[in-house]
């Protein structure tokens, strides 16, 4: 039986740049079409602002970056799955609904984990800053 996946073409720097362009186009599509992606963008900007303003450690920065990447990755995969489901099953199908719910649940799990991390890292510093001003 022949291999269903054809061999990759030879390496090309031009093709890699095009590939990066396609990825940015996907991110733009996600931001334009998904309300929650825009909420994640605001949360990302707030988290980065707080991290700079509160002077978190390098280790804490690593944790914040991993949390941000986890949420964005989950949102991107959820968006891709939703779009594929719309093509594969334009009419309602209960298994498609479940798949979409599960993918949305993955985004929620990563977002809640990120909120917990934000509370652990930023919470004490914010409380300390507020107490210092009272």
pLDDT of residue 3: 75
Q: Which stretches of the chain drop beneath a pLDDT of 50?
A: none
pLDDT of residue 1: 67
CATH class of residue range 13-133: mainly alpha
Burial (CB < 10 A; 0-12, 13-18, 19+), residue 4, is: exposed
pTM: 0.88
In the chain, where the domains are located? 13-133
DSSP E strand stretches across 5-76: none
pLDDT of residue 19: 95
Pair 80, 98: CB distance under 8 Å? no
Dist. CA 96–CA 91, nearest whole Å: 10
Dist. CA 73–CA 76, nearest whole Å: 5
Dist. CA 100–CA 104, nearest whole Å: 6
- Three-state SS for 43? helix
Which has the closest alpha carbon to 43: 117, 103, 106?
Answer: 117
């Amino acid at each position: 039986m022949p291999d269903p996946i054809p061999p990759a073409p030879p390496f090309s720097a031009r093709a890699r740049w095009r590939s990066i362009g396609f990825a940015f186009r996907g991110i733009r599509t996600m931001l334009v079409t998904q309300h929650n992606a825009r909420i994640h963008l605001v949360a990302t900007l707030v988290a980065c602002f707080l991290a700079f303003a509160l002077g978190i450690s390098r280790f804490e920065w690593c944790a914040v970056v991993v949390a941000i990447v986890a949420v964005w990755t989950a949102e991107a995969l959820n968006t891709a799955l939703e779009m594929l489901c719309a093509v594969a099953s334009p009419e309602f199908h209960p298994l498609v609904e479940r798949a979409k719910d599960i993918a949305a649940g993955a985004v929620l799990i990563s977002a809640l984990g990120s909120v917990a991390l934000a509370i652990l890292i930023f919470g004490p510093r914010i409380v300390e800053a507020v107490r210092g001003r009272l």
